[in-house]
Chains A and B, each alone.
Chain A
C-alpha cells in the first residue's frame, strides 16, 4: 500500500516540476507550497497507516497467538511462552498509542498505570522496554529469546520472526491489528 502511495505522489511531483518552468514566479511559489503540503500529508499518512507486525525472536517456537493471548501478554498476565522462556516486552515508542488503542482500547495513561501496579506489587519484575528507534527494537528482539514487540512491518529485520494473530498475517483483510 505504501509503495503505491510513493509512486503516486512521485508522479505528481514530477508533473509539477516540469510545469514550474512555464508559469510565473508567484504561481510557482504557491505550487511549491502545495507540493510541500502534500508531502507533509503523505508523511503523516505513513505513520497512521503503518502496518503493525508482532515480532519474536527466531528461536521462539511460537508461530501464532490469539488476540486474547496478545492482550494478556501486553498486560503482563501471561509471563512465559513456554517452560523456561519468560516473556520480555518491547514497545515501539512511535506506534505505542496506536497499538494500545487497538489492542486494549485504553488511553496510554491507563496502560502506564497498569504497569506501575504490576511492578510495585511484584506481579512483574520488568516493565515493557520502550525504544525510540526501530533498529534498537530489532536488536532487542534478536538478543532476547523471550522477547516480543510490535514493529512497522516494513522495518522488520530478516533475522526476526513475524507471527500471525488469530491465524491471520499482517496485511491480510481480517488481521486483528489493522
Chain B
C-alpha cells in the first residue's frame, strides 16, 4: 500500500512540477489504410483472386503538456463486422500508453505498446512505410512453436512499462529501449498467467556513415498460450538507406522450450533461425523496384527443414502519401515440395 501511495505521489509531483511549462493541449490524428489484391496457387480457395481491405489504423495522440502525451492506436483489420454471426475481421488496440518525455536520454512509456523488436515490429502494419506489402516472413510471421500451435518468435505487443532514450557521441548516435511486461498469455492486457515477466530490449546505433544503422533486439518470456513454455529471441539488423537506394538485412535466433506428450514444458530446447536480405533502388524519386530473399530454419540441428521466399516487386509513389505496389513471391519448402506455391500481391497504401 505504501509503495502504491508513493508512486501516486511521485506521478502527482511530476505533473505539478511541469505545470509552468504547459502549452496549448493538442490532439493530433494520423492513420493509414491499405487494400490488397491477392492471387496464388496455394489452394483452390486462394486461386479465386479477391480484394482484401486489410488495414485501417487510426492514431490519436493527445499532448497533455510539454512532457506528457497519451498515444493511442486502433486497428481495424479485414473489415470488422460485429453484426455478422461470424464476427468477421478484427478490431484491436495496438497502442494505448502514457509517454513521459523527461529528456532526450530518459523517457518512459506505460501501458500497451508494440514491442521494439527488429526494424519493423513497432510500425507493425503501417504498409505505407514499407517498400513491400508483406513483411519478411522469417522474422515477423507466425511459426509452429509446439504441438501444432503457431505464434511469433517474440511477442508482438506488451502491456507494461518501457524506458527509452537517445544519446550521442561525436560520431555515433544511439537509441535504447528496455521493457518489462506481462508477457504472452490469455488476456495479457489485464493479467499475467505466470510469475515470469516478459522482458526485452532494443539498441540501435547510427554510424558516422550517413544512412548506415545497426540494431540488436532481445525478448524473453514464458508463453502463457502454450502452457508457459519458455521462449527467447535474439535479433540483429543492419540498414543502409540513401536517397536513391536501400539495403536491409535482419537475422533472428530463437530458443523454444519443447513440450512433452502431456503438452507440458520438458526443459529441452529447440533452436530456430531466420534471416532476410532486401534491396531497392529508386528512380525519379517515385519508382522503386525491390528484391528480397527470406529464409527460415524450423530446427537448426535438423537438415532439410528450411523454408525460403524469393520476392521481386515494385513500389510506385503516386503522391507523398499514396503508394501502389505489386510483388511476386515464390515460396519453397525443403522438407515437403508439395507445399511449394507462388503468390502475387498488389496493394494500394495510404497514409493520412
Contact = CB atoms under 8 A, between A and B. Distances in A.
Contacts of A143: 23-24
A106 B285 CA distance: 10
B79 to A, nearest CB: 21
A25 interface: no
A119 interface: yes
B129 interface: yes
Interface string B80-114: 00000000000000010001011110010100011
Interface stretch (B41-49, B59-67, B256-264, B340-348): B59-67
A170 interface: no
B21 interface: yes
B30 A86 contact: no
Contacts of B102: 83-84
B243 A110 contact: yes
B351 A126 contact: no
A105 interface: yes
A122 interface: yes
B317 interface: yes
Could you say which interface size class chain B belongs to? 35 or more
Interface in A52-95: 72, 77-80, 82-86, 88
Contacts of B69: 125-126
Could you say which interface size class chain A belongs to? 20 to 34
Nearest to A59: B21
A107 B126 contact: no
Given A120-B32, A122-B113, A122-B114, A109 B59 contact: no
A113 interface: yes
Contacts of B21: 84-85, 145
A116 B351 CA distance: 8
A144 B23 contact: yes
Contacts of B122: 121-123
Given A120-B123, A121-B123, A106 B101 contact: no
A157 interface: no
A145 B66 CA distance: 9
B26 interface: yes
Contacts of B99: 122, 125
Given A86-B66, A107-B243, A126 B23 contact: no
Given A77-B166, A122-B71, A125-B63, A146 B23 contact: yes
B67 A86 contact: yes
Contacts of B3: none
A158 B99 CA distance: 34
B5 interface: no
29 contacts: A78-B166, A79-B107, A84-B66, A84-B67, A85-B66, A86-B67, A88-B23, A107-B285, A109-B285, A109-B320, A110-B243, A112-B321, A116-B32, A116-B126, A116-B129, A117-B123, A120-B32, A120-B57, A120-B126, A121-B123, A122-B71, A122-B114, A125-B69, A125-B99, A126-B63, A126-B69, A143-B24, A144-B23, A145-B21
Given A107-B285, A120-B30, A126-B69, 16 more contacts: A77-B206, A79-B101, A80-B103, A82-B103, A84-B18, A86-B67, A109-B285, A112-B321, A113-B129, A116-B126, A121-B122, A121-B123, A122-B122, A126-B63, A127-B30, A145-B66
Interface of B: 18, 21, 23-24, 26, 28, 30, 32, 57, 59, 61, 63, 66-67, 69, 71, 95, 99, 101-104, 107, 109, 113-114, 122-123, 126, 128-129, 166, 168, 173, 206, 243, 285-286, 317, 320-321, 351
